Chain A
Amino acid sequence: MLRFILQKLALIVPTIIGITIASFAFIRLLPGDPILAMASQYGVTPERYEILKHQYGYDLPIWQQYFNYVGGILQGNFGISLATKRPVIEEFMTLFPATVELALFAILIAVALGIPAGIFAAIKRGSWFDQITMGVALTGYSMPIFWWGLLLIIFFSGYLGWTPVSGRIAVSFFFPRVTGFMLIDSLIAGKPAGFVSALRHLILPAVVLATIPLAVIARQTRSAMLEVLGEDYVRTARAKGLEPSRVVAVHAFRNALIPVVTTIGLQVGLLMGGAILTETIFSWPGIGKWMIDSISKRDYVSVQSGLLLIALIVMAVNLIVDILYAVINPRIRVQ
């Protein structure tokens, strides 16, 4: 097992190097210039431009800028944001819990609805339920998030008034930040009403963010179940006269779960991508919205370090999923 983990870790090193190069290059390949983006509407004179360029180190050869960036990271220094002048790692840690809270809630919705939907669709293969579920899943998978989010806001918040429009909690609630998770902090502060408010604020963005993973999980569960339901041991279980529900729950589902767990793990990367749009629509103060803002300000430092941090987290989650997978399925370890 240890060897398996070490092997996985060894693979991560070149990936990280690749990501530092990609994130460093990405923001520099975009047209635009951080110094001009920061300037007032008066612009900067050519002389002042040179001074500022030197001040930020953008007059150095590109490879030297890259090594300064990587050198900083090796020492745990992710740099100072060009826009806010605060350490990038500090900004990241401030905003990250909001994204985690949203993503966890979204994945919860996706799993809680996606797996049962997939199972029933598989059991009732070809029925109207199956057709409708898979049709809806396909629609959800192809849904443009921005449009979908606005539609839900207009209907549920604007027309019905059931959910708040945007934000993490009603502005009337103000309590100290402890964990950065609104649901937890509201309870620590002894404000159950704040907890309810935070929960209500979570619903719409989480539904929007869950839409694509939900569709993927439902379809994946369905096809995994169909495969397993056709296996000999399931037929044997049925032939033994076991209750159909027991056959599905114990014999089929547990085996179908293995590919589904992998799928859920892979959704984490997708959730990060989806969070960018979802957070922007719902003014959700997480790292997705922060990335978009940083890109539009050409905040080189925040973008290159932020992308790296996000990638590290996604890799860590995938590593954990791989390990869990190996725990569930010993054959993986041998390979």
Chain B
Amino acid sequence: MHLMKTLLAATALVAVMGGSVYAKQLVFCSEASPAHFDPGPTTGGNDFDASSRAIYDRLVEFEHGGTAVIPGLAESWEVSADGLEYTFKLRPGVKFHTTSYFTPTRDLTADDVIFSLERQWKEDNAWNKYLEGISWDYFQGMDMPKFLKSVEKGADDLTVVITLNEPNAPMIANLGMDFASIVSKEYADQLLAKNDPAALADFSNKPVGTGAFVFVDYQTDAVIRYQAFADYWRGKVAIDDLIFAITTDPAVRAQKLKAGECDIMSYPAPADVAGLQDDANLQVLEQEGLNIGYMSYNTTVAPMDNANVRKALSMAINKTAIVDAVYEGAGQVAKNLIPPTMWSYDDKIVDTTYDPEGAKKLLADAGVSGLTLDLWAMPVSRPYNPNAQRVAELIQADWAAVGVTANIVTYEWTEYRERGKKPDRPGAFQIGWTGDNGDPDNFFATLFSCSAIGVSNYSSWCNDDFEKVIQDAKKVSDQAERTALYTKAQEIFKAEEPAMTIAHSKVFMPMNKRVVGYTMDPLGIHRFDNVDVTE
């Protein structure tokens, strides 16, 4: 025992001696390894935390803790009256990172912006296929090829003009998304000049950006290291070293946080939250997530093609009970498709009330009796729906009380979505969405526009009035006008009930009390540029 104590004391001593005492260090226990560090082709939140939100900047940014768009690398911009031409004025004197593998000779110019978009867009761009099997999923997913007409240099090196084929108000918010991160053309040209396909891959694993942190090292599946960028255009951030300690198991992340091996962690398991809140050394921030868990009725299959039947099915369900039982205090009942934190949220909407007797009557009036339908349950836990199986069981019981028989159906996750989006899929389908850019269009059009049928409109719902309103809202850039249109959209949605909105969930972020200034992000990203640590 004595030997053990001596050994431990010696270990502790050398550990302290070996650690860096002077630099301000923040260790983030992250949930997964990034695929690589090019934010263009990657799709995961963990990829973006490690690349775009640490290393890169964009023309515009989302404000800390909100979804309002603020100037980024562009200090100002103008939109032409017809909504087709966006002119961005770039900030002068923005430096790219100097690293062991790249030394920039010039500041940010329009060329970098043009390159950042064209490499994803133009198939003849030398970087369009720089990695084997690369695909620019977000650029495609946001329909950029459809909207973009040209990206060109304006009057000078610091002016960029983006011309669209048709007006698209959400474009500004799109440009704040991770895929639209601005990369260095000079660095790309240097790699290309090596004439070696293997050297091109460096662009994805030896990143160069303009962001708050400079990439230092990635030890695969274990640790990512960054250093604060001394010449950051916003000024050097408060911490010196940022470290991602990749820890996949949430229970282990919580243990690491408690043991002081990391300062802050992502995505605690719901069961661990209370224990973390009780720890005297820790604080747990929480925020409404920018998300929605819902259940899509297939509006093209009888009897769910009748809005009254859909209403009746929703009326039969005790949503409050579901949210209490499944979200364990980390959710709120959703009456609208968009969450309350998003602009244009209509609080005047009255939610469908839980009324089994009324539901029975509505069903009888519609001539529906002995209804049997499939009830789809996601096989995975998502922030917007932690346990779809349990939700399905509760709905099944509620429906049984009004004479509706539900068969619970589930498949492997990708298979589940594939089958779910088929326009002739029968039944009610649980799914959800986490906002990408804070624009209501990102919910309404992505999930319920006519063109999304077969892609992400799981209700196969194409309503002329709704479609007109959301398409009009794309074309005007005045926010008050757009709010009026989205208010109308929410009214139509509630009246037609193409889906039952279930819940918006809360997101928790546990951290050591020595971490100050961290703001939770509604978009679910983790950024550390405004964080400090006290000694």
A289 to B18, CA, bound (A): 28
Contact across chains for A281 and B249 when beta carbons are under 8 A apart: yes
State A170–B217 Cα separation when bound (angstroms).
15
Give CA–CA (A39, B134) in the complex, Å.
Answer: 11
Which B residues touch A162, using CB under 8 A? 8
Q: Is there contact, CB below 8 Å, between A173 and B131? A: no
**Does A82 contact B133, Cβ atoms closer than 8 Å?**
yes
Give the CA-CA distance A56 to B455 in the complex, in Å: 22
**Stretch of A102-110, A194-202, A225-233, A240-248 lying at the B interface:** A194-202
In chain B, positions 427-469 with a C-beta closer than 8 Å to chain A are: 433-434, 436, 446, 454-456
Is there contact, CB below 8 Å, between B36 and A43?
Answer: no
**Is B407 interfacial (CB-CB < 8 Å)?**
no
Contact pick for B415, options A33, A94, A157, A285, CB 8 Å: A33
Residues in B whose Cβ lies below 8 Å from that of A150: 251-252
Partner of B137, one of A40, A164, A167: A40
Give min CB distance, A295 to chain B, whole Å: 12
Cβ-defined contact, B255 with A285, below 8 A: no
Q: Does A161 contact B (CB under 8 A)?
A: yes
Chain B 126-140, CB within 8 Å of chain A: the 1/0 string?
A: 000001111101101
Chain B minimum-CB-distance residue to A168: B222
Complex CA distance for A285 and B224, rounded to whole angstroms: 12
Q: Is A17 an interface residue (CB 8 A)?
A: no
> What is the bound-complex CA distance between A194 and B17, given in angstroms?
10
Chain A residues near B11 (CB-CB < 8 A): 196-197, 200
Q: Is B411 an interface residue (CB 8 A)?
A: yes
Please determine whether A31 and B222 come into contact, CB atoms closer than 8 angstroms. no
Cβ < 8 Å to A, chain B residues 1-34: 8, 10-11, 14-15, 17-20, 25, 27, 32-33
Q: Which residue of A lies closest to B129 (CB)?
A: A55
* In the complex, residue of chain A having the shortest beta-carbon distance to the beta carbon of B143: A42
Interface residue A283 (Cβ < 8 Å from any Cβ of B): yes
Q: How large, as a class, is the contact surface on chain A? A: 35 or more
Please state if A172 and B255 are interface contacts (CB–CB under 8 Å).
no
Cα distance A144–B259 in the bound complex, in angstroms: 25
Cα A86 to Cα B8 in complex, Å, equals 41
Does A134 make an interface contact (CB < 8 A)? no
Chain A residues contacting B25 (CB-CB under 8 Å) are: 172
Chain B binding site: helix, strand, loop or mixed by DSSP? mixed
Complex Cα gap A38–B41 (Å)? 10
B258-273 at interface with A (beta carbon < 8 Å) = 258-259, 261
CB pair B261–A165 under 8 Å, yes or no, is yes
How many whole Å from B16's CB to the nearest CB in chain A? 9
Would A165 and B201 count as touching, CB distance under 8 A?
no
* Known A86-B201, A285-B222: A197·B18 in contact at CB below 8 Å: yes
Contact A193 B249, beta carbon cutoff 8 Å: no
Residues of chain A contacted by B137 (CB below 8 angstroms)? 38-40, 42, 44
A85 & B133 in contact (Cβ 8 Å cutoff) = yes
Q: Using Cβ atoms and an 8 Å threshold, which residues of chain B touch A171?
A: 27, 223, 243, 245, 261
Partner of A177, one of B15, B132, B219, B454: B219
- CB of B141 closer than 8 Å to a CB of A: yes
Contacts of A311 in B (CB 8 A): none
Of A45-53, A115-123, A214-222, which stretch is located at the interface?
A: A45-53
Establish whether residues A80 and B222, one from each chain, have CB atoms under 8 Å apart when the complex forms. no
Q: Does any Cβ of B come within 8 Å of A273's Cβ?
A: no
Nearest 10 interchain pairs by C-beta? A42-B141, A193-B18, A172-B19, A285-B221, A193-B14, A31-B412, A285-B222, A85-B131, A40-B43, A36-B414
Using a CB–CB cutoff of 8 Å, the interface residues on chain A facing chain B are: 30-33, 36-46, 48, 52, 55-56, 80, 82-86, 91, 94-95, 150, 153-154, 157-158, 161-162, 164-168, 170-174, 177, 191-194, 196-197, 200, 280-283, 285, 289-290, 293, 298
15 A-B residue pairs with Cβ-Cβ distance under 8 Å, sorted by A, are A31-B414, A80-B133, A94-B220, A95-B220, A154-B255, A161-B259, A164-B259, A165-B252, A165-B256, A172-B19, A191-B18, A196-B11, A196-B14, A283-B222, A285-B222
Residues of B within 8 A of A (CB): 8, 10-11, 14-15, 17-20, 25, 27, 32-33, 35-36, 43, 131-135, 137-138, 140-142, 201, 204-205, 217, 219-223, 225, 243, 245-249, 251-252, 255-256, 258-259, 261, 411-415, 417-418, 421, 433-434, 436, 446, 454-456
